[in-house]
Amino acid sequence: MAARIGIRREDKSRWERRVPLTPKDVGRLIREEGLAFLLQPSSIRTYKDTDYAAVGAEIDEDLSEADIVLAVKEIPLDLLLPGRAYVYFSHVIKGQPYNMAMLQRLLDLKCTLIDYERIMDEKGRRLVFFGRQAGQAGMIESLHALGRRLAWEGYVSPFSGVKPAYAYSDLGEAMRQLRELGLTVRSGLDPDLAPLVVGFAGYGNVSQGAQEILGLFPVEEIAPEALAPLFARSNPPRDRLFKVVFREEHLVVPRDAGAEFDLQEYYEEPERYRGVFTQYLPYLTVLVNCIYWTERYPRLVTREEARRLWNAGPRTLRVIGDISCDIDGSIEFTYKATEPDSASFVYDPIAGGWKDGVAGRGIVVVAVDNLPCEIPRDSSQHFSGSLVDFIPVLARADLGRPFKELSLPLELKKAVITHQGRLTPDYRYLEDFLPED
């Protein structure tokens, strides 16, 4: 007999309007798979309660009858129920301190936790994610910040017409407007702004989404080593933007001067490498940070490097779109996450302080940590489409059996972090991060 599936109301943020499954996909699962769905009502969800009721889902505040509960963001401790299976972005796999109490509570209640972030194929590629949408929204926000910053400096630019991502009805509207703004670039940017270079740190799903948005403008892609010659030109092109994508070998070099860069070694032993990305900063107008980072890896930009850049001049770098948004992380001066309606702050490399907005000495940093919620319908449709085929097998699995005997596809089984009150083998390292008794 298939489990009954609940979908929780998102309440971690007033901006969180996404859903794990759309009404269309819920209706398909009800019709074709005979599954039953129970949804908590929500006044902010991107789809109305009536949209789900129309396809056969039951709307009820009480999810205690659900065997499996789907959500997007973390579930508060006091709402977790014993013995349930929960599927959401738990943000525990790095041992994040702010979620260790939640993880312990799941263990105490003998719950099963499945994390979307860990649903991967045999090559370790994520199968259920919002990454591309984070990149799309993050690039829109970065261009919006650039327009505001340039206006504060006294420039008239096409970017002043870019709105915050959440201000568009959907991604389609945003893309149509940005494409129109892109046409004005061909008339020529202010000579003082040319060449205008947007650099992307990283090349995965997030970066691809961001590059897709930038591609609505006239863009010429160049290699990192072509930056210096471009700036050496007496009359660089003003009718286009320049795009540079930085890979790992552009970010770091081996600490051993005689060694060569080895990607696999860098992933496994990043301590053997030091950061060298600073050499490219003088050429960038916008830096879009899309890299995965932990404390073992060299930072992309440090406070000291930003101070040296600012003292040396010329001060070309206006905006850092920190889509990765690791606090005190790869961008060391990302000191907080921002909200969509107050998406940026200015970091002063000389004084070392911060000020909300885009005005003042320094570098504008965009650090929204829940970017996909700014385009909730597009994000939900993509996410639901990647998740929906996993739901029938999950609903019919006997989760009461020992972990070794769970009949789940490997992609899903690898994402099971806790089961029957225990960490599963791949996640036992998290014991070191759990709160002490």
Tens-place pLDDT, residues 75-85:
999 999 999 99
Q: What pLDDT is attached to residue 437?
A: 67
Q: Give kind and range of the element (H or E) at residue 205.
A: helix 205-214
Give the number of other Cβ atoms within 10 Å of residue 269's Cβ: 11
Q: Which of 208, 66, 185, 60 is nearest to 132 (CA)?
A: 208
CB–CB of 370/326 below 8 Å?
Answer: no
CA 219 to chain centre: 24
Rounded CA-CA distance 209/192 in Å is 29
Rounded CA-CA distance 326/343 in Å is 15
- Residue 33 in 3-state DSSP? helix
Angle at 244 between CA 238 and CA 294, to 5 degrees: 140
Q: Give kind and range of the element (H or E) at residue 270.
A: none
CB–CB of 308/275 below 8 Å?
Answer: no
Angle at 60 between CA 59 and CA 62, to 5 degrees: 150
Rounded CA-CA distance 252/295 in Å is 15
Q: What pLDDT is attached to residue 48?
A: 97
Rounded CA-CA distance 233/241 in Å is 15
Q: What pLDDT is attached to residue 1?
A: 65
Q: Which of 135, 24, 36, 107 is nearest to 423 (CA)?
A: 107
Which domains are present in the chain? 5-114+377-424 (3.40.50.720), 131-374 (3.40.50.720)
Strand ranges across the sheet with 363-366? 219-221, 241-246, 197-201, 286-289, 319-322, 363-366, 344-348, 353-356
Q: What pLDDT is attached to residue 154?
A: 97
3-state helix, strand, coil in the chain (%, to 5): 40, 15, 45
pTM, rounded to two decimals: 0.91
Rounded CA-CA distance 177/303 in Å is 36
CB–CB of 10/42 below 8 Å?
Answer: yes
> Which residues does the chain have with pLDDT short of 70?
1, 437
Token pair for 59: 């709307």
CA 102, 105, 107, 113 torsion: positive or negative? negative
Place of tokens 């003042």: 360
Rounded CA-CA distance 347/132 in Å is 27
Rounded CA-CA distance 292/323 in Å is 10
